[in-house]
Amino acid sequence: MPTKNTPRHVAVIPDANRRWARQKGLPAIEGHREGYKRMKEVAREARDRDIRYFTFWAGSEDNLRKRSRLEVLFLAQLLKTGIVKDLLTNDFMKWETRVKILGKWDEILRDKALRDLVGEIEDKTKHFSERFLTVLFGYNGTSEMIQAVQDLKESKAPVSYDSIKRHLWTGELPPVDLVIRTGGEPHWSAGFMMWQTANSQFYFTRTKWPDFGKKQFRAALDEYARRERRLGK
């Protein structure tokens, strides 16, 4: 059972896959391959810790638009593999986890096979309500906010907290309690989930994502549990 010091929603910015690979004399895709393994490991640990919402930034909009075609295709293939092996057939279905994959990946990649797989996993898990896995792919928080404002303007609904949130790609998610960023560069990127992180706790670590496993994740959760969240009180 979760304790009062267990975050309800954890979001991860998994930085430094490419730097990890470069330091080992490996191509960038090997950093992403190892990073995918860590994502599964940490997501399982989040399940074991009764964290209901786990959000993972698998690739930014700039990543998909500006990286080499080979690297982008590899990232897309990793996502396909993950959906088939780990989401549709193994752990996440068994854990009754609702899965959403959000961002501009479809607009950028135009990959019918990936679109079909995403549609399948989202449809098969839409009735689950205990655990939630959100993968952000081709995601940019600034683009998300601009689109939300445009949609709200077109709807002609009154501007309020709730009306803005309803138009966000991530609008169904609750506020993020803890954001973890790996890789030793303690900064924000691309307006990451700016609406849901207004009152988040931040955890920065020098550990590169391919070296960040369940032991390091537990350390982040332990530090979170020691902090006092006053929320303006």
Question: Which pair of tokens denotes residue 25?
Answer: 């004399």
Residue appearing with tokens 């303007």: 153
Q: What is the DSSP letter of 84?
A: I
Active site positions, annotated: 15, 63
Distance between start and end Cα atoms, the chain? 27
Distance (Å, whole) CA 48 – CA 197 = 24
Within 30-173, strands assigned E span: 53-60, 97-102, 131-139
Cβ atoms within 10 Å of 177's Cβ, excluding its own: 20
